[in-house]
Structure 1
């Protein structure tokens, strides 16, 4: 399928760029992705939210968070009101990796959007959002139909 093949090309290119950061700092792709997700989406700072929004498996997120914690890059903060609610916080030691990741994301965006006008970029984002929303809706419908 054309869209899927092209999507894989974009993903492969992003992983190539971000892989350089992973290699430099001894991270797996999932660990890197979680660090960047927490930085770019500070409102979603629990393991459950990472799993839900990134469509990752619980086991991969759990393992990656344990590794990030052992590397001193994140810490888990248990809520005083609800012992089951644990927030993930980025630590200062993660800042250099986040900076490198942001530079990588900026380079990626510049390279893949090269030659597009501002209007074309906005249109591309709108269309992609619609595609993602449609897929999200279908996933929700399929899940409801299974019940």
Structure 2
């Protein structure tokens, strides 16, 4: 399917751009992605939410969080009223990585959206959101249509 093949091109472009930051700070792509995710989604700051929203495996997220914690980039904070609820908090040492990551995201957006009008960008966003919603609904229902 054309869409399937092309989405990999977009992902590869983003990974190529972010590789500079990964190499600079000696991070895996998953570690980098988690730091950026936590910055961009402060309300979704548990390992379970990272797994759910990013569609990552528990084992990859867990090992990446361990590495990030051992490097002093994040810390785990246990809830006082629910011992099972552990939030992941970005630490000050992660700020330079986040700043470089934000630059990468801006460069990525500029690269992939060049030549598109504002209206085309709006339509692209609207269509992409619908595609993602359809795929998410399919995953939630296990492919069973109501």
- Normalising by the smaller structure, the TM-score range is over 0.9
> 4+ runs of 1 displaced by more than 3 Å?
none
Say how many residue pairs are matched: 145
Superposed CA offset, 1:121-143 (max 9, x none): 01100000000000011111117
Partner of 2:18: 18
| Aligned-CA RMSD value | 1.1
Partner of 1:73: 73
Looking at structure 2, the residues matched to 65 and 30 of structure 1 have their Cα atoms a distance apart, in angstroms, of 9
Partner of 1:99: 99
Looking at structure 2, the residues matched to 90 and 144 of structure 1 have their Cα atoms a distance apart, in angstroms, of 39
CA contact (8 A) 2:138 2:144 kept: no
Partner of 2:108: 108
Q: CA deviation at 1:94?
A: 0.2
Looking at structure 2, the residues matched to 105 and 57 of structure 1 have their Cα atoms a distance apart, in angstroms, of 23
| Structure 2 residue runs without a partner (length 5+) | none
SS of alignment partner, residue 75 of structure 1: strand
TM-score normalized with structure 1 length: 0.96
| Aligned pairs for 1:1-147 within 5 A | 1-142=1-142
TM-score normalized with structure 2 length: 0.97
Looking at structure 2, the residues matched to 144 and 70 of structure 1 have their Cα atoms a distance apart, in angstroms, of 43
CA 53–26 in structure 1, closer or farther in 2 if over 3 Å, else same: same
Looking at structure 2, the residues matched to 124 and 23 of structure 1 have their Cα atoms a distance apart, in angstroms, of 32
